[in-house]
Each structure stands twice: as C-alpha cells, then as structure tokens.
Amino acid sequence: MKHIYEQGTDNTAPVLLLLHGTGGTERDLLGIAKHIDEGASVLSVRGNVLENGMPRFFKRLAEGVFDIEDLKFRTEELNNFIDQAAEQYSFDRSKVVAIGYSNGANIAASLMFHYKDALAGAILHHPMVPLRGMKLPDLSDKQIFIAAGENDPICAPQETEELNELLEGAGASIELLWERYGHQLSRSEIEAAKAWYEKTYKS
Ligand code: MLT
C-alpha cells in the first residue's frame, strides 16, 4: 500500500498508524501525529480504493452504506500490510495505535472488530459502526478514544453510542468525547485526544 514511514526517536512510544478520511492522503494526519507524540514512529497509509478520484479505505454503495465484502477484504489487506511493514521497518507489531478520521476511523474500528491484536489502541475521530452482526474478539486490553459530534450529519449520535456499546461489550476501555460540531475534525478534539494519549501511554 502507498505509505510513509517515519522512524521516531522514542523506542518506548507506540507506533502511530495514520488513516485519513475520504479524499485524503497519507500526508493529512502527519502534523496531528507529531502534535500527539513527537517522538513516536509513524506509519501513514493511503487507502487503496478510489471513489471518483478520492482515496478511501474501502468501497461504499452510497453515503453511509458500506460495501461489506470490500470492507472485509480491505480490512484483511490493511492488517497484512501492517504485519509486513513491522518486519520491513523493524517496529514492534504489538504497539500499533491507530489515529483515524472518518473513513480512516471506520477501517480502524473494522480492524478491531476482526482481529484481536491488529491494534493496541485507537483514536477514532467521527467513526461509524463499520459492520453489524459479528462477534467481536476479546478487546479487554484495548484503549480507545472516540470523538463525536452531536450535529454530525454523517454519523448520527445513536450510531456513536452503538459503536461505543459494541466496543465496551467486547471489553475495551473507551473515552468518548462529545462536541457540538458536525463531522469536521476540530482543534479541540485533537487536544482532547492528545490529553487522553498522554494519560494512557505516557504516565
Ligand atoms: C465513510 O467511511 O464513508 C465515512 O465515514 C464517511 C466519509 O468518509 O465520508
């Protein structure tokens, strides 16, 4: 997969996996990753699907209606890619923490739905429920931060609550931040994610 890998200076830090939103690229979240943890290694990936020229991590049939077969295929493809990257760049596969926005948050959630050890944790900005009706793996050692908008036209508050319940039901520890905005990635939610990250991984 097209990607950027930046070796960090702090070997004890998590490895940050960056997953952009629809129409984004592997460059979008680099500044946020640096802000969250300057010393961490970063693996930033570009989604392999194109929708009218816009990169995504999996196909959709309409806004909010996902192509589930493709989602499953792309989730496995991304998980395999992280495995390969860990070998190629010699980072600790068990320390990958995703930072995803929108479509990128959805594939990060899908990684956790499908594989117990794909991610050590995740910061999910405006995620949706990636798919329904599956038994989640035991996520009891996973830490997740979710930022959501009360007025998000793409992800309704009930869907955020549903995702929260599914992940908590699988044992994950969740911190959920509500803001009054819509689907955009706000400065204040990035600051809240940074505070959560420091509390979770730096103390
Ligand atoms: C999606 O995965 O389709 C979304 O979360 C919405 C978007 O990316 O625009």
**Measured between alpha carbons, how far apart are the two ends of the chain, in Å?**
34
Pinpoint the alpha helices (H) of 38-185: 68-89, 103-114, 157-169
* DSSP E strand boundaries for the chain: 3-6, 15-19, 42-45, 49-51, 54-56, 60-62, 65-66, 96-101, 121-125, 143-149, 173-179
* Tens digit of each residue's pLDDT (9 = 90 or more) over 186-200: 999 999 999 999 999
Residue 106 Cβ inside 6 Å of ligand 1? The answer reads yes
Q: Whose CA is nearest to atom 8 of ligand 1?
A: 103
Q: Going residue by residue through the chain (203 aa), what tens digit of pLDDT does each one get?
A: 999 999 999 999 999 999 999 999 999 999 999 999 999 999 999 999 999 999 999 999 999 999 999 999 999 999 999 999 999 999 999 999 999 999 999 999 999 999 999 999 999 999 999 999 999 999 999 999 999 999 999 999 999 999 999 999 999 999 999 999 999 999 999 999 999 999 999 98
Ligand 1 center to residue 49 CA distance, Å?
12
Query: Which amino acid makes up residue 149?
Result: G
Token output for 25? 């690229």
Rounded CA separation 180/178 (Å): 7
Catalytic residue among 28, 44, 125, 152: 152
Pocket lining: 102 vs ligand 1, CB cutoff 6 Å: yes
Q: Ligand 1 mean position to 195 CA, how many Å?
A: 26
List, for residues 93-110, the tens digit of each pLDDT value.
Answer: 999 999 999 999 999 999
Q: 54, 48 in Cβ contact below 8 A?
A: no
125 is catalytic: no
DSSP state of 128: -
Q: What is the pLDDT of residue 203?
A: 84
Which atom in ligand 1 lies closest to the alpha carbon of residue 22? 8
Q: Which of 59, 106, 125 to mutate to test the pocket of ligand 1 (most atoms within 8 A of CB)?
A: 106
